[in-house]
Amino acid sequence: MITVDTTTTTLAIGSECTACGACVLTCPTHALLPAPGRPSLVESRCILCLECVEICPRGVISELAREL
Ligand code: SF4
Ligand code: SF4
């Protein structure tokens, strides 16, 4: 499993999201919640395993550097 430092990195979900729900279903920590338009991320639950990034059929989830 790939892991990324959660203190410096978070996720961004692009506007091309079709709200298919694949990422919501695959997230092992339930950090992605269904929401209108695109899922919302509960950052405190996200372990940055990047499974959602890999499964997204649109390729719209990406790593985003936090502003420190
Ligand atoms: S898997 Fe991708 S397209 Fe589907 S809901 Fe998640 S971000 Fe949107
Ligand atoms: S990176 Fe992993 S823990 Fe974070 S939202 Fe995606 S699947 Fe869930």
- Interval 17-57: pLDDT, tens: 999 999 999 999 999 999 999 999 999 999 999 999 999 99
- The tokens 């390729």 sit on which residue? 59
56 lines ligand 2 (CB under 6 A): no
pLDDT value at position 29?
Answer: 98
pLDDT value at position 4?
Answer: 76
Burial class of residue 28, CB neighbours in 10 A (0-12, 13-18, 19+): exposed
**Is 66:8 a contact under the CB 8 Å cutoff?**
yes
pLDDT value at position 66?
Answer: 87
12 lines ligand 1 (CB under 6 A): no
Closest CA to 10 of 67, 64, 46: 64
pTM: 0.91
pLDDT value at position 5?
Answer: 86
pLDDT at position 2 over 80: no
15 C-alpha to ligand 2 centroid (Å): 18
